Amino acid sequence: MRRLLFLRGAELLAFAVLGAIPLLVLNEYALGLLTLLSIYGILLIGLDVTVGYLGQVNLAQIAFLGLGGYAAGLVITRLGMGMGPALLAATALCLVLGGLLALPALRLEGPQFALATLSFAALSATALNELESLTGGAQGLSIAQPPIFGHILTKPQFYWLCLAFLALVWMLMRNLLASQWGRAFEALRDSPIATDAMGVGTYRHKVAAFALGSGLGGLAGGLYALNLGYLQPQSFGYEQMITLLLGVVLGGRKSLWGALVGASVIVLLPNLLSKHDLFLAFSGLGCAMALAAGLRGLVKKTTRPFQALAPVVAMGILVVGGFFVPNTEDWRKAIFALMLFSVVVGLPEGLMGFLTGFLAKLFRVPEAPLPEPSDLNSVLPTHPADGSPLLVLDHLKRYFGGVKAVDDLSMTVCSGSIHGLIGPNGSGKSTVVNVISGLYTPSGGRVLLHGQELPQGSLFRVARAGVARTFQNLQLFGELTALENVMVALKDVYRSPLPLVLLGLARPEERRAQADALALLELIGLKDQARAKAKDLTYGAQRFLEIARALARKPDLLILDEPAAGLAHPDVLQQIEIIKRVHQRGITIILIEHHMDVVSELCDAVTVLDGGKVIAEGTPDEVKRHPKVVEAYLGQPPETDSATPHTDGGAAPLPA
């Protein structure tokens, strides 16, 4: 309750102060800046969904600001409609255009995605300029603010309207980003492959996030047009694009407060550049902050010397240059570039990220209490283990060009068993599980689960069909806590429709999800580290956490891809105990492992591969003495007892 009162109280106080300013300050210029701050706050919250949560550089948000503005303006000037329909049209148009742009663009990553959004922004500006009969072209479009219920809003009233929209967007986005949707957005940034493998769905969440941010850009554009009363295509160009990115990065990504701080920077920058003394003071403050952040990073050993020094030098150039340049407005592009460089290199978490930890300690904000773990039987019901065929691989093939990674493989995994899949490096083990789980499409043959053919080439659809997996190379969501990693993957928990989530009415569902996730963390011995970020856990704990996350899918079949790889001996023993606990729930397991003692202790049956083909099947004791198995591992037929693969003591792998 104390934490909730502190956080909500800070929000209420901030909006109350912003709302009270027109009662105390009558300066129209200051009021205009505050109105722009509210509009840019909405715009940057939308941009942060893509930049902060999806981790993609989105250069199209300035285009949606322009398109939303012109859409609202044309609804008013051409159709003679009021403010409500104009803002609705602006939001809806950009929501649809954002979704359409996302469909091809989000199949790209990194620089390619940035170039795609840059191209869209350039095309939009060109279209607005060339469609003179509709937009007025370079001459611009004049917009008269329509009355609301017969009343023309005064400047303070319009400001309050914009502030009310910002407060509404703030509340809705806060609820959305604190829900499963927000966790899914963050998971996408860290590991799209694991997100699909957990049954969350990468592509659809990416499209939804981008479209949502674009819709907020359209809403901001509509308010922008009504505020200025005049639009020109050149107002939505490259310089404004960089300014928006600077606002998001400087304010702090993944933070509503960061968007508000970034909006303040965007609004104040032109004034800082036009007033020499203010610019010098701002640059000096920036240099001091860069120095403080750099020293903190060096002391905590989280920052390399270059990261600590480069921002100080960049901001120092602004301070020194301010004494020699009489008109700083002439150098605004260079100034923006230096500021953006300083923030990206030296303060990647932004101002709010830098201050959040300090403020939490200063005000001693407690962590929200966690619920008691759910009953494990309700989270992970026991499966009937009748020994019937659960998974059948029927003449499975997977070729990479001329390489036959899996060549006519047939294998049956019985219900309730732990089925080992072993073989020397390059034998095709990982390829088999990648085909089963949907990461690869088979070149031939079938994969049957419960007698039904599994979907091909889709991690998401295979996960929904009842198959969960871990990865040979860890695919955790590093920026999420251990608890959140498991919550992302939970099955049959999140049923509230989106409108209820936005209104904050899905909180009971969230508490149940926390309790269910804690039950799974308790199963693997990580309950006490539930709030630790996954990237901060020990390597062994990360391996255990990946199993808990897979179990959150309530799978019929669990695939463990070398779960003991790289673990110390005590962690291997703990891993064995965890797998035994999971097996006691009746879950069928395919275990890929090089540690023969792990295979011997856990597996009921073992299939040995070499060159993509089955060379032996049977119990662990049978296969480890099979002549073809010994030959595959040692490179020669067995002649003496010394040729038997190592199986005694420790966690020694099979010879390769």
- Alpha carbons within 13 A on the beta-carbon side of 420: 26
Q: Residue 142: which residues within 8 A CB-CB, separation 6 or more? A: 77, 136, 229, 230
Instruction: Check: CB of residue 354 under 8 Å from CB of residue 293.
Output: yes
The answer on pLDDT for 38 being more than 90 is yes
Quick one: pLDDT at residue 340?
72
Quick one: pLDDT at residue 655?
42
Pair type for strands 557-561 and 588-592: parallel
3-state helix, strand, coil in the chain (%, to 5): 60, 10, 25
Quick one: pLDDT at residue 412?
92
Quick one: pLDDT at residue 147?
86
Quick one: pLDDT at residue 652?
38
Indicate the range of 28-42, 131-145, 196-210, 284-298 predicted with least confidence.
Answer: 284-298
pLDDT digits (tens, 9 = 90+) for 204-220: 888 888 999 999 999 99
Quick one: pLDDT at residue 654?
45
Quick one: pLDDT at residue 589?
93
Indicate the range of 342-346, 422-426, 498-502 predicted with least confidence.
Answer: 342-346
In this structure, the chain runs to a length of 656
Q: What is the average pLDDT across 173-192?
A: 87
Quick one: pLDDT at residue 167?
94
Name the pTM for this structure: 0.82
The answer on pLDDT for 357 being more than 70 is no
DSSP state of 52: I
Supply the DSSP string of 558-615, one letter for each residue. EEEESTTTT--HHHHHHHHHHHHHHHHTT-EEEEE-SBHHHHHHH-SEEEEEETTEEE
**Encoded tokens for 263:** 């909006």
Quick one: pLDDT at residue 649?
37
Indicate the range of 82-86, 173-177, 318-322, 582-586 predicted with least confidence.
Answer: 318-322
Quick one: pLDDT at residue 89?
95
126, 98, 129, 102: which is closest to 113 by C-alpha?
A: 102
pLDDT digits (tens, 9 = 90+) for 554-607: 999 999 998 888 888 899 999 999 999 999 988 999 999 888 888 888 998 999
Give the model's confidence band at 646: pLDDT under 50 very low, under 70 low, under 90 confident, else very high.
very low
The answer on pLDDT for 109 being more than 80 is no
Round the average pLDDT of the chain to a whole number and report it: 84
Q: Residue 640: which residues within 8 A CB-CB, separation 6 or more? A: none
Cα gap 363→465, rounded to integer Å: 48
**Encoded tokens for 48:** 């942060």
Give the model's confidence band at 634: pLDDT under 50 very low, under 70 low, under 90 confident, else very high.
low
The residues spanned by each domain of the chain are: 48-236, 245-366, 377-643
Quick one: pLDDT at residue 378?
87
- Among 104-113, 330-339, 551-560, the range of highest mean pLDDT: 551-560
217, 228, 227, 229: which is closest to 77 by C-alpha?
A: 229
Cα gap 88→68, rounded to integer Å: 10
pLDDT digits (tens, 9 = 90+) for 147-161: 888 888 889 999 999
Beta strands in 56-187 (DSSP E): 141-142
Place of tokens 């860890």: 474
Cα gap 492→246, rounded to integer Å: 40
The answer on pLDDT for 71 being more than 90 is yes
For the domain covering 377-643, report its CATH number: 3.40.50.300
- Sign of the alpha-carbon torsion through 626, 629, 633, 634: positive
CB burial class (10 A; 0-12, 13-18, 19+) of residue 149? exposed
Q: Residue 464: which residues within 8 A CB-CB, separation 6 or more? A: 199
Give the model's confidence band at 6: pLDDT under 50 very low, under 70 low, under 90 confident, else very high.
low
The answer on pLDDT for 19 being more than 50 is yes
Q: Which of residues 339 and 638 earns the better pLDDT score?
A: 339
Cα gap 227→150, rounded to integer Å: 18
pLDDT digits (tens, 9 = 90+) for 281-295: 777 777 777 777 777
**Encoded tokens for 430:** 């990982």
